[in-house]
Structure 1
Amino acid sequence: MQVWFGGREPRVVARGRSILLAGASVICWAVAAPAFAQDAQDAPVVTEDATLDEVVVTGTRRTMQSSIETKRQEATIVDALTADEIGDLPALSVGEAIETITGAASHREKGGASEIAIRGMGPFLGASTFNGREASNGSGDRSVNFNQFPSELINQIKVYKTQQANLIEGGVSGLVELGTLRPLDFNRRRIQIEGKVNYNPYEDRLLNQPSPGYRGTLSFVDQFDLGGLGKLGLSLGFQRNDVTNPEEVYNASSTWVACNATTTQTGNCAEVSRAQAAAGTPFYLVPNSYIFRQIEEDDTRDAWFGAVQWRPNDRLNVNLDYQYSDRSYNERRNELGISEGRYGLTNRVVDENHVLQAVTGNSSIETNSTFKNRSETYEGAGLNIEYFVNESLTLKGDVSWSHTLRNETDRNVRLRSDPLDIYGVRTPMNNQRVPYTMDLRNGPVPTFTIDPRFDITNHDLFSDDARIRRDQSQRDHEIFAGRFDATYEPADGFFTAFDAGVRYSTMTFTDFDNRVEFTQDDRAVDRAANLLCRTAFPQNDFLDSSSSNSIKRWATFDAVCLFEAYSGVPDTGLPIDIRAVENRDVSEDVWAAYGMASFAGMAGDLPFRGNVGLRVVDTQVTSKGLRADLNVVDNGDGTISLVPTGEFDEVVIEHGTTRWLPSLNLTFELKDDLLLRGGLFRAMSRPAPSALGAGRIITVDSGADYSNVADALRNITANGSPRLEPLMSWNADLSLEYYANRDSMFALAVYAKQFTGGFRPVAYDETFVIDGQSVTVPVVQTENSDDESTLLGFEVTGAYRFSSLPAPFDGLGIKVSYSYADLDFENEDVRLGDVIDAATGAVTEGMIPPAGLSGLSKDVLSAQLYYQIGDLDLQAIYKYRSDYYQDFVGGNSQLRYVHGAGTLDLRASYQFGRDTRLQFEAINITDEPRIEDMPVWGSTRGYYAYGSKYYVSMRRRF
């Protein structure tokens, strides 16, 4: 795969790739269509339970068949992945399973699929439910963390592309519905045990190689006859997952500054304002710091799933389900930092997009040792009762609870360069700051050349500015919900069903970020800690996946050892008072009601069916924040901090919205095997809970001398916007679907979305009392605009099994899906983009171009090739997503772009009889990294290398 160094692909190439991908999909259909028609006439339709010499369809082929049948029977435009058996989803995780569905793509974290984008649109525009209910999240957004749910305990995934009134809002891009089986509906006993061993090639580079990772899964399903009490079904599942995820990272800071390109200074570069840039002042973009990071990780997850289904008679059906997931991982981070990215910059090479391609600078060099622990617990439960009053009327009630608690703790010690080493001997540099050069022209990772007089592998040279820091954050997200639905089915007539219902939910989201920090400058203490806690660099061949990387190793230390050596205890813990102006406290109450009518009829000789409905949603948001006077604290290392005086005032902001969401879905049966579907609907996508915070983030620039505090306080941002409203869209979809047989189908869908209510940065003047003096600072937050934008897109899906070929080639099958979307949406950078003065409405022109819609990829491709013959089942899955803009969780941050990437996964299994399966899986075998730019294309911000992963498993059913 060709990589375009220094930024985004050329427009001609990007457009060419779009055309090629679209053309490939159409050609696949053109080549396969005649065979489709032939198979439709010649191939017998064999159901799973049909008996032709005991032929039973299983494995990948059966999953394909179930998914095709689910899509065919739905009333809306839906793509699905369905397995009749627990553990048959063809993917390592739920996120990776969803990626095989048409138009679905993921944002990769730690080498695996995490949050999902539908039709190339970001997670923010979608919605996710678990067994028909909202699920909480530890990230601060509304996306489901699919890594929390074992794919072995999920048996159905649906992606609704069009909406209907009885769905929970649905989202602008679509709705992802995860489902677990109901034990009585399963209608057979099943005990299943699976063991899986994991190997990561990146582990071979580690000096202390971990034990192989593993995953163990146990599930049980059975049904019991209770006599006069009816039937009881029970489903239980447990999984233990213990793996390692080594990672290599180059990263720049998340704050980028526009520096004056005409001046040369010995200190920090002179920052250029929007007004100065508009007047013609040349500038270049530079981060505050650069970091190389080596990570070792242990990742453990325990998950429990349970369901009880009770059917006392033919009229009553009771379902109770519970899910529990407890995930914990520890990271040992070793970082080399060029901590003063703006200091003493000369010999600059700047391109026409203001990207700093090469530079000479001076900076303190630091080594950071961090031990990070994250624990995340998810619990969800629901009670669903169905009562069939008579043949026409059904009543349903559902109550649910979902709660996620995420705690993250970092213990970090920083050691810096100094004119003297730990023994008090002058270093060859005789200076704290070390000359270096940075060159971005050689590849995605900048080539750094640090003055050879400063040996970054020499522990003795990291002897100054010891900073001991403990950071802890907590995210607490909880949802209670209840709904009541009624369905009336007339005996005959044009209308086949009438549905109505009400729903209430209350959501709370709270978080805090706490920092305990102190510095020390006693060289004897530094020397003792330095000598005690030294480690060899933990791995070989650091970041050799990027040929442009020049940093291979540096002096490293044991983080826990250093922390205890300086603080006297392994962990200082939380202070008594964790109140802070950054904290969020958001609650949201939602009332919704809907009515929907389903119908079926004939238009001449043409059968049709569908539904029409209206959903009304009323939302009330209450956001609480803290404000405090601040004191200036000298950190003792040339920097300052601002700390609250301890007295806080509470600010409460309330905001409400009411939205009407009409929908119409219509399906025409052009032939028995040819359907034409259409959908018209209005959809909404809510802001993330963390984006509704009322707190403030106060950042003080480090490593600089300021004449007054106001100069240091240029970067004050709101950590949310409580008055941010849902993004609304009107949507039109049309889908033509051809079902040749149970193994083969083709679908072409076109769609349009008109968005109303974009986003724009707005500056509000706020007054802060610092050291007894009032300082007025413009605080930027995001608000809705009246802008309108239009998205146009199409999807192509083809699934085909070559059953007409002679044996053994008749076991070959393929599924290819491609999605294209284009949108004229704009997101401005909060520091460098257009900004509106809240008092006057005046717009100050930005310095860099805006981004598009967060998460929008123009091209999304998924291709699956499988071969199933006898007991052998082989599968190759290729997934590609073009580049996209990815907002940070919580919003009000600068622009970040993610490069497009394609990954290849392989899977092979062999069935020993009916009950035993051996399987091999290979994930990301091309070792595709994730590359990020910021705040414009071509300016590398991050390079994340994870490597490939391999799994071998054995499953036994009883």
Structure 2
Amino acid sequence: MTHARARQRRSLSSPGTPVVRLSPLALASLVVLGLPAGPALAQDAQDTQSVVVTGIRRAIETSVAIKRESTSVVEAVSAEDLGKLPDISIAESLARLPGLTAQRVNGRDQVLSVRGMAPKFGVTLLNGREVVSTGDNRSVEFDQFPSELINGAVVYKTPDASLASQGLAGTVNMSTVRPLDFRERIISVGVRGERNSNGAQVPGSSATGNRLSVSYVDQFADNTVGLALGFAHLDSTSQERYFKHWWWGNSAIWGGAFRGLENTDPSKAPHTLQGFETGVTATKQVRDGALAVLEFKPNKDIRSQVDLYYSKFSQDAQGRELQADLGPNWSGDGTPGHEANGGPIYSNVKTQLIGNDRYLVGGRVTNVDPRILTRYGQRDDNITALGWNTEANLAAGWKGVADLSWSKAKRDELVGEAYASATTLGGFDFVANPNGGFSQFTPLGNYGDANNIQLRGLSGWGNLNGVGQAGSLSPIHVSDELKSLRLGAKKDLEWGVVSGFEGGVNYSQRSKDRNSTQTIYALKNGTTCVGNDVCQPFPAGLLQSPVNMAFSKVPGLVSFDMMAAINAGLYNSGVVNQSSAPGRIWGVDEKVTTAYGKVDLDFNAGVPVRGNLGLQVVHANQSSTGLAWDANANAATPMTFGTSYTDVLPSLNLVAELQPSLLMRFGLAKVVARPNMDDMRAGFSASVATSGQDLGKWSGSGGNPFLEPWRARAIDISLEKYFGKRSYVSVAGFHKKLANSIYVEDFQFDFTGFPNTSGTTPISNIGKLTAPVNGKGGHVAGHEVTAALEGNLVSPMLDGFGIIASYSHTVSNLPGTANDGKAALNRSLEGLSGEVYSLQGYYEKNGWQFRVAQRYRSKFVAEVRGVWIDKSLSAIDAEKITDLQLGYSWESGPLKGVSVLLQVNNLDNTPYKTALADDSSTSTPLRMMPERYIEYGRRYLLGVNYKF
């Protein structure tokens, strides 16, 4: 060990002098000025070595130690105790780390953004191995991982060449326990009950749930064999209520016509809500996770571990919804007597001036066609990850590492809906909310009375054998399999500034397939009701209790089970929308070989410096299968394309010990993020024009199997000041200059090999394809400020109190072109929240634990499930989530090892909100108007843990 490294180790553990109390202002001043806080702020090992720290402070202490010791810029989260991360999934724990935040899906934290970048820009590892995903792409859905089975996680914001795989935004490495790290048998059991504050929203659902976890760790054969077993069961409920505004428009600008409104003068015509849907959804979520780790260490030279992780997550959703199209009847010109018997009629209207635009906010609307939908969702996810890692001491001080792993994810999902309605046109008294929140539409009829409602097929939504669509069911199947082998070696060295070497090779094969179709249902029998639609009365036994949606002023809504209706034999069915198959049926195969080498650095440059200099050479061979849709023949042909490329990724990490507790970090690297898999699909819709100015020309749209990764040059710098084991302040900045990006545009493509059944001979096989392409230029940059401070730094009276606060600000600028290939665009990065902060306050002493945590992210654009089963981008509003935790642990006596815990998640019942642009607004840029408004309710949990 060099002198510099020895000094670094001593700075973490050497005794110090009595602690001096400093005000927060004084602490901040010391960091900013770079002045020494004095030996008084070094930890007093004489006082602390005899104290066993547990709970919240132990988790903080472990996380701070990981951050301080790392040569990369990292953040870490650790379990308070075995099986005792307090969150529903590891996603919630990670979302509170500096520079990280989560995106909610169905009320749960599901995917993570690192440094303001979308989930697709990061990579997730489990025990150092890349892990598969049940999602549509490579982004891991973290709610698949119970917090009780994850012992901790490290987020690498700067790369380390020894990591098997790395992302452009960062790398998350989740870890499970190693049983030989313990020196005793430990058994931990936890039980919790939960309740959702929204109550049961759908007949037959429940607002209550439960959690159960068991963890076991033991050692055998004189501590040469270790065994860890874990099981976590979640039976939870999601109860949501929502209102979705379709879009807003000025009829005088759009050219539509509304009876009862001004339609000719844009300055007087109000911007009107063009339709809505409001409803409730209840989702029963059952997740079973299991973990087994077997570790073998027969002597000091060999350590081998086999670990198995398994998770099964089932979600059953039932939704009830009222919707109405409030758009103009485009077949009429608005002149009295020329309305073509259609279109809403408004009366008693109220408007509100917002900026320069006037919006319709209240009144009565009649002559509309309300529809009642029952929605159905059923999803089963399975993840299995198996790994075998062996480390062995070899000759001449070398240590060899071999790691073999296999993981597979499987998702089977059904998404469906069925329709009913009144047999005559209806209307509403309404209060529309252009500022966000629930708009309220009170039906003029009783839609909770089954005598007024019938099953209905909608002729305007597609048909089957000439009968209007009465429902649809879309199955989705996703399979993701990854195999990898890693061989490496490392050695401590004393070669001047070089203190060690590590190198090796990692080879992986990944195959992901997605297959989804759509089946529509049409009523077998019925009579004509509205227009050409077919209606049929509800058969006996199909109806449930009406749904009360008082939040949107709908006192009662007919409720029926979709699958029960299908099983009752009321419908004919058939597969439709086959032209969408190129975007829904595809497969991607990847073979990636990574050779890596890293030298550890340890030297003195006036101050002790440690770090590493690394290099990865990554060769990727990718291929994709898909369908080429021939619009002329109404048929699909299988297609396969592929490419290969090599990336050379150098990295440098340096840590300078400016003072014993003041560290400066510097990182410089080239980083990549592989493309989304659905963007890489070999799926196209293509045809030869048979008329018009494009006669004889090929055109199409789809994926791009020749895509190469996002690439960037990244620089990081941070300054960290430590005050004992659990307190520090840091300031960090980063800049990523993009050399390669991905966006959608028109480009020239060779359609050779595509079927041509148009009957027209193409002028050339080169035509226009609209698809994702690689572009150049752009940047992502930001800064982060973090503070973890214990109260006793300020006053002995605050012993046990502490705060953890972080703030990050990120900006981006990506180039692109409009689809005409001419206009230059500047756009923000997908998933970018410009501002993110997290604030935690805690108290832990004499067995008591209290923690309140709040996290905020500003508005961002992200992928969500859109209409039917395809993804789309959505503008998601800023949100602030607050969680509360209160507990008590018995530290002695007959109840020693027992702890109780009360949690409230989403304390403020923060809504999930999205927005859309009013393209008839006079504002510049276009005014963003409310779209979705969803309340998931608060989740209350009360439980007990017993460790023995």
* TM-score bracket for this pair, using the shorter chain length: 0.7 to 0.9
Higher strand share: 2
Tell me if structure 1 keeps the 8 A contact 2:271–2:359: yes
Contact 1:614/1:662 (8 A) holds in 2: yes
Return the letter of the residue paired with 1:394: K
Relative distance call for 1:49 and 1:508 in structure 2 (3 A) is farther
Aligned to 2:940: 950
CA 1:933–1:352: 2 relative to 1, 3 Å: same
User: What is residue 493 of structure 1 aligned with on the other side?
Assistant: 496
Give CA deviations for 1:77-118 in whole Å, capped at 9, x if unaligned.
111112373223343320110012111100012222111111
Say if 1:40 and 1:740, in contact at 8 Å, map to a contact too: no
Please list, as runs of the form range in 1=range in 2, the aligned pairs for 1:574-593 lying within 5 A after superposition.
Answer: 580-581=581-582, 582-593=584-595
Q: Is the 8 A contact 1:139 1:889 kept in 2?
A: no
Deviations 1:104-135 (A, max 9, x none): 10001222211111122211111111111111
Q: Are 1:393 and 2:398 matched, yes or no?
A: yes
Give matches, 1:291-440, under 5 Å.
291-339=277-325, 341=327, 343-344=329-330, 364-390=369-395, 392-417=397-422, 421=423, 427=424, 429=425
Opposite residue 846 of structure 2, the aligned amino acid is G
Give the TM-score normalised by structure 1. Answer: 0.80
- What code does the residue aligned with 1:868 have? E
Moved more, 940-949 or 528-537: 528-537
Task: Give the distance between the partners of 1:389 and 1:264, measured in 2 at CA.
Answer: 80
Distance 1:734 1:26 in 2: 23
Partners in 2 of 1:361 and 1:497 — Cα distance? 78
- Normalised to the residue count of structure 2, the TM-score between the two structures is 0.81
Give the C-alpha shift of residue 940 in structure 1: 2.7
In structure 1, how many angstroms separate the alpha carbons of the residues matched to 2:139 and 2:885?
Answer: 28
* C-alpha RMSD of the superposition: 4.1
1:184: Cα distance to partner?
A: 0.8
Structure 1 Cα separation of the partners of residues 505 and 938 of structure 2: 47
Aligned counterpart for 2:146 among listed residues 144, 147, 150: 150
1: CA distance between counterparts of 2:810 and 2:707?
A: 26
Shift of 1:458: 5.8
Change (3 A) 1:558 1:353: farther
State the shift of 1:43 in Å: 7.3
String of CA shifts for 1:738-762, please: whole Å, max 9, x gaps.
1111121111111111112233322
Higher mean displacement: 384-393 or 944-953: 384-393
Q: Which whole-Å CA distance do the structure 2 matches of 1:231 and 1:38 have between them?
A: 45
From the superposition, tell whether residues 437 and 481 of structure 1 become closer, same or farther in structure 2 (CA, over 3 Å). Answer: farther
Q: Is 1:126 paired with 2:122?
A: yes
Q: Which residue of 2 aligns with 1:4?
A: none
Which of 466, 487, 510 is the aligned partner of 1:484? 487
Residue 749 (structure 1) aligned to one of 698, 723, 732? 732
Q: Corresponding residue for 1:860?
A: 836
Match of 1:931 among 901, 909, 913: 913
SS at match of 1:178: strand
Q: Distance in 1 between matches of 2:232 and 2:449?
A: 42
Q: Does the CA contact (< 8 Å) of 1:25 and 1:817 recur in 2?
A: no
Whether contact under 8 Å (1:512, 1:578) holds in the other structure is no
Report the CA distance shift for 1:117/1:942 in structure 2 as closer, same or farther (over 3 A).
Answer: same
Q: How far did residue 621 of structure 1 move?
A: 1.6
Give the deviation of 1:895 after TM superposition.
4.0
Cα deviation 1:36-72 (Å, max 9, x = unaligned): 9879616753599822xxx321111111111111111
Q: Deviations over 1:627-676 (max 9, x none)?
A: 35569xxxxxxxxxxxx86x642111212222111110111111111111
Aligned with 1:690: secondary structure? coil
Structure 2 counterpart of 1:595, which letter? G
Q: Does 1:100 align with 2:96?
A: yes
- How do 1:581-730 residues align onto structure 2 when only pairs under 5 Å count? 581=582, 582-604=584-606, 606-629=607-630, 648-696=636-684, 718=701, 720-730=703-713
Distance 1:106 1:930 in 2: 13
1:529 and 2:533 correspond:
no
Residue segments in structure 2 that go unaligned for 5+ positions in a row: 1-22, 260-265, 331-342, 458-468, 528-533, 694-698, 918-925
**Residues 1:25 and 1:391: Cα distance change in structure 2 (over 3 Å):** farther
Give, in angstroms, the shift of residue 772 of structure 1: 8.9
What does 1:737-816 correspond to in 2, within 5 Å?
737-763=720-746, 780-786=770-776, 788-804=777-793, 809-816=798-805
**Contact 2:782 / 2:808 at 8 angstroms: preserved in 1?**
yes
Deviations 1:278-336 (A, max 9, x none): xx9xx999999642231112110111111111112211111110100001011111122
> Where does residue 49 of structure 2 map in the other structure?
50
**For structure 1, which runs of at least 5 residues remain unmatched after alignment?**
1-23, 268-279, 422-426, 632-643, 699-707, 711-715, 829-833, 837-841
Greater Cα offset, 400-409 or 775-784: 775-784
Please give the per-residue CA displacement for 1:139-171, whole angstroms capped at 9, x wherever unaligned.
122222111111111111111111121123421
> For 1:919, which of 883, 901, 909 is the aligned residue?
901
- Counterpart AA for 2:231: F
Separation in 1, partners of 2:593, 2:271: 46
> What count of residue pairs does the alignment treat as equivalent?
850
User: 1:66 aligns to what SS in structure 2?
Assistant: helix
Letter in 2 for 1:898: I
- Could you tell me how far apart the structure 2 residues matched to 1:76 and 1:155 are? 21
Q: Please, which moves more after superposition, 716-725 or 851-860?
A: 716-725
Could you report, residue by residue, the CA deviation over 1:172-230 in whole angstroms, capped at 9, with x for unpaired residues? 2111110011111223211111111111111166665627311100111011116xxx8
Contact 1:238 1:302 in 2 (8 A): yes
Q: Distance in 2 between matches of 1:402 and 1:889?
A: 26
CA spacing shift, 1:477–1:394, aligned 2, 3 Å: same
SS of the counterpart of 1:97?
Answer: helix
Instruction: Classify the secondary structure of the residue corresponding to 2:778.
Output: strand
What secondary structure is seen at the aligned counterpart in 1 of 2:143? Answer: helix
The question of whether the paired residues in 2 share the 8 Å contact of 1:343 and 1:361 is answered with no
Q: Aligned to 2:723, what secondary structure does the other structure show?
A: strand
- Distance in 2 of aligned mates of 1:539 and 1:48: 61
Q: Point out which structure has higher relative CO (alpha carbons under 8 A, 6+ apart).
A: 1
The aligned residue for residue 212 of structure 1 is 208
CA–CA distance in structure 2, aligned partners of residues 889 and 597 of structure 1: 45
Counterparts of 1:885 and 1:319, CA distance in 2: 42
Give 1:590 shift. Answer: 0.8
Amino acid of the structure 1 residue aligned with 2:710: L
**Preserved CA contact (<8 Å) 1:136 1:479:** yes
Establish whether residue 877 from structure 1 lines up as the match of residue 853 from structure 2.
Answer: yes
State the alpha-carbon separation in 1 of the partners of residues 759 and 360 from structure 2: 43
Confirm or deny that 1:899 pairs with 2:877.
yes
Preserved CA contact (<8 Å) 2:802 2:841: yes
Aligned to 1:264: 256
Matched AA of 2:591: D
TM superposition shift of 1:379: 0.5
Residue 452 of structure 1: aligned partner: 444
Alignment partners' CA distance in 2, 1:125 and 1:951: 34
- State how far apart, in whole Å, the 1-side matches of 2:660 and 2:236 are: 49
Query: How far apart in 1 are the matches of 2:702 and 2:429?
Result: 35
In structure 2, distance between residues paired with 1:325 and 1:65: 30
Q: Quick one: which amino acid aligns to residue 708 of structure 2?
A: E
> Which stretch of the first structure deviates more once superposed, 83-92 or 790-799?
83-92
1:163 equivalenced with 2:156 (yes/no): no
Shift of 1:844: 6.2
Alignment partners' CA distance in 2, 1:751 and 1:924: 31
1:835 counterpart residue number: 819
Q: For residues 709-733 of structure 1, give each alpha carbon's deviation from its aligned partner in whole angstroms, at most 9, with x where no partner exists.
A: 99xxxxx985533223211111111
Structure 2 residue 229 is the aligned partner of structure 1 residue 236: yes
1: CA distance, partners of 2:272 / 2:593:
47
Please state whether the residue corresponding to 2:907 is helix, strand or coil: coil
Report the Cα distance in structure 1 between the residues aligned to 2:270 and 2:756, rounded to whole angstroms.
Answer: 33
1:538 and 2:547 aligned: yes
Relative to structure 1, the CA distance from residue 893 to residue 93 in structure 2 (aligned partners, 3 Å threshold; closer, same or farther) is closer
Q: Deviations over 1:678-727 (max 9, x none)?
A: 000111111222222222589xxxxxxxxx999xxxxx985533223211
One-letter amino acid of the counterpart of residue 784, structure 1: N
Q: Distance in 1 between matches of 2:273 and 2:388?
A: 51
- Distance change in 2, residues 1:262/1:114 (3 Å): closer
- Give the deviation of 1:902 after TM superposition: 0.7
